[in-house]
Amino acid sequence: MSLNMQKEIHLANRPEGMPTNNDFRFVESEVPSPNDKQVLVRTLYLSVDPYMRGRMQDVKSYIAPFELDKVIVGGVVAEVVESKSESFKQGDVVVGTLNWAEYSVADENTIRKIDPKVAPVTTHLGILGMPGLTAYFGLLDIGKPQEGETVVVSGAAGAVGSVVGQIAKLKGARVVGIAGSDKKIDYLKNELGFDAAVNYKKESFADDLAEALPNGVDVYYDNVGGEVTDAVFTHLNRNARIPLCGAISSYNAAGKDVGPRIQSAMIKTSALMKGFTIGDYSSRFPEAAVDLGKWLQQGKLKYEETIVEGFERIPEAFLGLFKGKNLGKQLVKVADPKYADINR
Ligand SMILES: NC(=O)c1ccc[n+]([C@@H]2O[C@H](COP(=O)([O-])OP(=O)(O)OC[C@H]3O[C@@H](n4cnc5c(N)ncnc54)[C@H](OP(=O)(O)O)[C@@H]3O)[C@@H](O)[C@H]2O)c1
């Protein structure tokens, strides 16, 4: 491959059911050139996120679908290679929604400079980035946990769930996590300090959950939907709050997802369920950034990252989300920096 060529990944098909490697196409293209008020950036770390599965379908949603045979976009940390913007210089580290490509050209107002001295650059795709903000607002604005209440979080050992549980602990709640392996259960209880954690893949899940919830559920932060959520619903307390963050269990469902009717459970408990997307809170990101940054610096929040190395492994990392391969935030390391100093 000549020096001014690069690799990028296109959406080759709209998957039915679980996506496969065949739904992604590796394409060689010319490294683009920036125009006025643009920068050329080189991808260092790339985020794979469950919501991207939704963008692979051509359906009406809160965000436009990916176009077939066009490059996929997602969260990226990159270094500036060439700048035609007064706001950026070569060697700056930036975060933004950029191409699944080795290089991207970005308009100056679509990327944000990050300071590698304050926190590792990868945290801007995880605990200090979109997943951390999602945890913060869904829990505090909708869940409103009170001291002594029981907060249950599903997808608990992932990017969002692990932050939800820790913030709930900071607010004085009793926290119960639900996740899909014994390693994750151990992590939640022994590393993150959850009060209890339950493996939903065990046959004894319903009994284990009941045992973990002697006082019922006041807040259920739902990342997964499906049968896990059905089980939690049988434990709702009066005036329970349910932030509906994600439903990963149904993202690959080929047909319509059908489950128990929840109206009766909600009426009997006067429960409140509210869906949200993180974009709803964009005007309030700064307040969350201050709190998350402070708690991280004070050692009150911990985080884990699962990082696979190599541009070729991006589809594998994405597909792994649906098999529970990640502990904490799943990232792909694409390259070491050439111009930026990220180890200061
Ligand atoms: N509303 C918003 O704005 C917003 C923003 C960000 C994320 N989200 C949603 O929040 C959820 C978590 O996102 P994340 O980035 O933190 O992902 P993540 O939890 O880091 O990774 C996905 C995890 O989901 C679990 N999972 C996969 N298939 C499952 C199934 N069939 N049933 C139950 N659990 C399953 C796996 O863990 P196990 O090993 O435990 O199965 C996997 O590790 C997703 O549903 C995502 O779409 C919503």
For residue range 306-336, list pLDDT tens digits in order. Answer: 999 999 999 999 999 999 999 999 999 999 9
Total number of residues shown for the chain: 344
Place of tokens 């610096």: 297
Among protein residues, the one whose CA lies closest to atom 28 of ligand 1? 322
Assigned token pair, 12 = 């080759």
Give the model's pLDDT for residue 254: 81
Q: Is the CB of 161 under 6 A from ligand 1?
A: yes
Pocket test for ligand 1, best of 53, 137, 209, 223 (most atoms within 8 A of CB): 223
β-sheet bridge partners, residue 178:
154, 198
Residue 58, number of CB atoms within 10 A of its CB:
12
* 321 CB near ligand 1 (under 6 Å): yes
- Give pLDDT tens digits for 140-177: 999 999 999 999 999 999 999 999 999 999 999 999 99
Ligand 1 in contact with 57 (CB < 6 A)?
Answer: no
For 65-79, 123-137, 187-201, 256-270, which range has the lowest pLDDT when averaged over its residues? Answer: 256-270
Distance CA 314, CA 153 (A): 27
Q: Is 75 in the pocket of ligand 1 (CB under 6 A)?
A: no
Q: What is the pTM of this model?
A: 0.97
With cut-offs at 50, 70 and 90, classify the pLDDT of residue 344: low
The CA 324 to ligand 1 mean position distance, Å, reads: 8
Q: Determine the Cα–Cα distance for residues 184 and 104; give it in Å rounded to an integer.
A: 35
pLDDT mean across residues, the chain: 96
The rounded distance, in Å, linking the Cα atoms of 249 and 93 is 35
> What is the percent of the chain where pLDDT is above 70?
99
Q: What confidence tier does 184 reach under pLDDT thresholds 50, 70, 90?
A: very high
Q: Cα(238) to centroid of ligand 1, in Å?
A: 27
What is the Cα–Cα distance from 283 to 281, expressed in whole angstroms? 6
Indicate whether 255 pLDDT > 90.
no
Q: Are the C-beta atoms of 162 and 296 separated by less than 8 Å?
A: no
Pairing of strands 73-83, 93-99: antiparallel
pLDDT at 56: 96
Residue 205 in tokens? 């899940």
CA–centroid distance, residue 206 to ligand 1 (Å): 20
Establish whether residue 126 lines the binding site of ligand 1, counting it when its CB lies within 6 angstroms of any ligand atom.
no
Residue 1 has pLDDT above 70, yes or no: no
d(CA 228, ligand 1 centre) in Å: 12
In the block, residue with structure tokens 């070569």: 90
CA distance 7 to 102: 6
- The confidence band for 258, taking pLDDT boundaries of 50, 70 and 90, is confident
